[in-house]
Amino acid sequence: MPVARLSPEDHKRLQRLAEQTGKSQRDVLSCALDIFEREQFFESLDAGFAKLQADPAAWAEELEERAAWDATSSDTGIGG
């Protein structure tokens, strides 16, 4: 099994969180990694939209496509 070294301070935090939650240290770490991974996903998503919005032609194309989809969904009664 791979081993990751924690600083003494982080190990104390991990122990405290495990005790507070009644979860194993492994479960606490797994949960923390899930949260971090989700944060990274949304930061990447935000950066992608910022890049898209910074390009006027690409952003206009995006808005046109959204409008087309909105028209389609209103034709079928989906989304409003």
Model confidence, pTM: 0.71
Question: Is residue 2 included in any domain, yes or no?
Answer: no
Tens-place pLDDT, residues 4-14: 899 999 999 99
Domain that holds residue 47: 9-75
Read off the pLDDT band of 15 (50, 70, 90).
Answer: very high
**Distance from C-alpha of 29 to C-alpha of 32, rounded to nearest angstrom:** 5
Q: Please tell me the distance from the alpha carbon of residue 47 to that of residue 3, in angstroms, as a whole number.
A: 33
Arithmetic mean of pLDDT, 40-54? 97
DSSP-based three-state secondary structure for 30:
helix
Report the C-alpha gap between 40 and 44 in whole angstroms: 6
| Domain total of the chain | 1
Task: Assess if residue 48 is contained within a domain.
Answer: yes
C-alpha span between 78 and 80 (Å, rounded): 6
pLDDT given for residue 72 in this prediction: 81
The one-letter code for the residue type at 48 is G
Buried b (16+ CB within 10 A) or exposed e, 8-27: eeeeeebeebbeeeeeeeee
